[in-house]
Amino acid sequence: MRNTLSLLSFLVVILLFHSCKTEAPNNQETSEIDTKVNDLLAQMTLEEKVGQMTQISINVFFEGEKLYQPTLPVQLQKDSLQKFIVDHHIGSIFGCARFPFEREEWKHFITDIQDIATTETRLKIPVIYGIDAIHGVTFTKGSTIFPQQIGMAATWNPELIEEAGRITAYETKASGQPWNFAPVLGLGRQPLWSRFFETFGEDVYLTRTMGKALIKGMEGNDISDPNQVAACMKHYIGYSIPTSGKDRTAAMIPERQLREYFLPPFEDAIATGVHTVMINSGEINGIPVHCNKYLLTEVLRNELGFEGVAVTDFKDIKLLHESHKVAASYKEAVKMAINAGIDMSMTPMDVNFSQYLIELVNEGEVPMARIDESVFRILKLKYQLGLFENPVPDFDAYPNFACKEHQDAALKTAIESITLLKNNNLLPLKKSQQILVTGPTANAMTYLNGPWTYTWQGNDKNFDPEEKNTIYEAIKQVNSSAHLVEGTTITKDTNLAEAISVAQTSDVIIACLGETPGVEEKGNIVDLNFEKAQINLIKQLAKTGKPIVLIINSGRPRILNEIEELVDAIVFAYLPGNEGGDAIAKLLFGEENFSGKLPFTYPKYTGSLWSHYDHKNTDLNIEGEIRAYNPLYEFGFGLSYTEFNYANLSIDKENYTKEDSITLQIEVSNIGEVEGKEVVQLYISDQYATITPSAKRLRAYRKINLTSGETKLVEFKIAIQDLAFVGLENEWIVEPGGFTIQIGNQTKEFVVN
């Protein structure tokens, strides 16, 4: 071992565990703004107030015979703008769907909207525009596109994610939009769910830290800064675990789990200062969240102290009537949602919402105080964003839009996300090898980007940026002998025979599998296995006896048990974004080292999906029995071209009080031949507790870089309070007793008195 003390290059990394309630909010609440808001509010009619609470899709303003099929070049219809903004006083517009636009086009749209709002309306209140820039700016041509959130989480590097947030904010503002409907803070614990890729994975702590980083990057210290935007934590709460796995279907979440697993990321986001929230379209325990006063007011406002704007998701108030069937009419749905605590309704195509709300207030069914509260929050957000002074940003003030530095940050994030799951000494590849590149995702950008890229579903290849490298193109740049044969589409053989024949004369096969981009209801699937055509491709190629590198482009784990043993290396690329092809090539040829770690448990079987690293002790497999926890690869797993050794885990005491903090240290050494990054993961198990404890919980992590032969001393500090769980009374408690710390292969026990 090379990690003798004389060789130690000491780096003490102090990782303070962030308690849910420790950080001061990013406090924009100046009394000066409050005074302005109150002055304005006092001048407003009911109609004007309700208009502020109404959000309309930009699609209603496009010229064209059919919705979503505008006449090109796309223009906003002045008479529609007049009708909605002047006659109906609407305060917010959002989105895009089937097209990305040039910045110049966005400039026209935003200018047209704000010109009418700030010159032709009585009170000249600017419109607030919201958009989904969820992995970089998704609806502006030429923007910087980062990995989707699941890939961001796989970096385990919050600094990179904060930077991704900063760049995204800059480019969103450069496109004229001040409000970003991101990040998603639901936990990715249901891999069948079509929006799994939008989560930070299954763990609470990883989601908390990543969510905070993205919000900090997007909002900065002051959202009136021309380079920052207002973030939107979503979808509050429990959207990500529909029991059926299908989007917007019912979830059952006991109060204890809701508080211990699902609330903390939102709580942290609020402490970070997030300005807005979007509500879950689904139901929890039979109550649609959009009309759940307990969750929207008691918990979100009174307990968590959130003061920002709560916007609905797409059409969700109407759906209380049409799909959830808890309201006998749309009007009743409006009453339920507004009285429960909604501030703004994404209606999204008409103003029936506003008309009903006006009637409800006049009939005394919705108190004026409730309206004033919501409008206060919305106007305050507009003031905080500086929209009254600058309703249209200066489009010339963004020279760094999609600059090299931004693209490099996206490349770095992709490189640090991509995760090596298996390597039988096949990787890194050599530049001299004859390579077959095959599979449906080998040569199209759509599979690297996934949904919310240029279009909502992200599946229109017409918008694939030509200047970006697909996996094949990037490999070809390193090894010009690389030969592309598709073999199969996602679902159907194309030229499989040719792929087999080229494989026979190749040294290595790089097979790229994946899924058709799809999100929300359109992304629902019924089977987590890869499609038969893709499995068949691997099986047929394996018969050639040539070594196979399997590259997976997918925002969730797809079951591998039929093909895992047939391949020599597995690279899980997630949806790495526009720089994904280059990132994969650099990693495959060893120009960069792998450091991504799974942010979810990779299930082995379709019948063992409810299988997470923080499972109950009874879920553990016992020899001869089949139980719940059945991973192919564990949460936090990921290989590297080097090897790391953990030694000398020490803690400062063996007995602690509930008020104490534990200080612990561990030596981590790079004992391989090349430089590499390691994610030091700290898990703690509560040995016995009144509520069955999890086998282990991630309590801290730190990504460090080590050159070959280097050792670093990593120090963590964990407050005993942060080992609390939600107990019998649904309140956070720490129980006295024994705990076990685990970092790598090192463990230590301690007692809390």
| Chain residues that interact with ligand BGC, rule: CB under 6 A | 94-95, 132, 181, 234, 278, 313-314, 520
112, 203, 268, 313: which is the annotated catalytic residue? 313
Nearer to ligand BGC, 520 or 735 (CB): 520
Nearest distance from C-beta of residue 62 to ligand BGC, angstroms: 15
686 in active site: no
Report the SS3 class of residue 339: helix
Nearest distance from C-beta of residue 247 to ligand BGC, angstroms: 8
What torsion do the CA atoms of 87, 89, 95, 99 make, to the nearest 10 degrees? 20
Nearer to ligand BGC, 235 or 615 (CB): 235
507: phi then psi, degrees, rounded to nearest 5: -90, -35
Are residues 568 and 548 in contact, defined by beta-carbon separation less than 8 angstroms?
Answer: yes
Nearer to ligand BGC, 232 or 533 (CB): 232
Nearest distance from C-beta of residue 236 to ligand BGC, angstroms: 12
Reference 541, options 579, 508, 582; nearest CA is: 508
Nearer to ligand BGC, 184 or 551 (CB): 184
Nearest distance from C-beta of residue 639 to ligand BGC, angstroms: 34
Q: Indicate the helix (H) or strand (E) that contains 550.
A: strand 548-553
Inter-axis angle of helices 471-478 and 580-588, nearest 10: 40
Nearer to ligand BGC, 181 or 376 (CB): 181
Write down how long the chain is.
753
Handedness of CA 224, 226, 227, 232 (dihedral sign): positive
How far, in Å, CA of 233 to CA of 180, rounded? Answer: 9
Nearer to ligand BGC, 185 or 513 (CB): 185
How far, in Å, CA of 396 to CA of 23, rounded? Answer: 36
Provide DSSP, 674-741.
S-EEEEEEEEEEESS-SSPPBS-EEEEEEEEEE-TT-EEEEEEEEEGGGG-EE-TTSSEE--SEEEEE
Nearest distance from C-beta of residue 38 to ligand BGC, angstroms: 30
Are residues 94 and 131 in contact, defined by beta-carbon separation less than 8 angstroms?
Answer: yes
Are residues 86 and 124 in contact, defined by beta-carbon separation less than 8 angstroms?
Answer: no
How far, in Å, CA of 494 to CA of 342, rounded? Answer: 51
Nearer to ligand BGC, 348 or 580 (CB): 348
CB-count exposure of residue 339 (10 Å: 0-12, 13-18, 19+)? middle
Nearest distance from C-beta of residue 657 to ligand BGC, angstroms: 44
Nearest distance from C-beta of residue 129 to ligand BGC, angstroms: 12
250-251-256 Cα angle (round to 5):
155
End-to-end Cα separation, the chain, in angstroms: 38
Are residues 666 and 646 in contact, defined by beta-carbon separation less than 8 angstroms?
Answer: yes
Nearest distance from C-beta of residue 115 to ligand BGC, angstroms: 24
How far, in Å, CA of 511 to CA of 95, rounded? Answer: 36
Are residues 409 and 144 in contact, defined by beta-carbon separation less than 8 angstroms?
Answer: yes
Nearest distance from C-beta of residue 468 to ligand BGC, angstroms: 24
Reference 395, options 219, 224, 164, 172; nearest CA is: 172
324-330-334 Cα angle (round to 5):
95
Nearest distance from C-beta of residue 223 to ligand BGC, angstroms: 18
Nearer to ligand BGC, 428 or 450 (CB): 450
Are residues 748 and 47 in contact, defined by beta-carbon separation less than 8 angstroms?
Answer: no
Nearest distance from C-beta of residue 188 to ligand BGC, angstroms: 15
583-587-588 Cα angle (round to 5):
115
620: left (phi over 0), alpha (psi -120 to 50) or beta: beta
Nearer to ligand BGC, 95 or 288 (CB): 95
Are residues 568 and 426 in contact, defined by beta-carbon separation less than 8 angstroms?
Answer: yes
- 369 CB neighbour count, 10 Å cutoff: 7
Nearer to ligand BGC, 234 or 377 (CB): 234
Nearer to ligand BGC, 235 or 422 (CB): 235
List the catalytic residues.
313
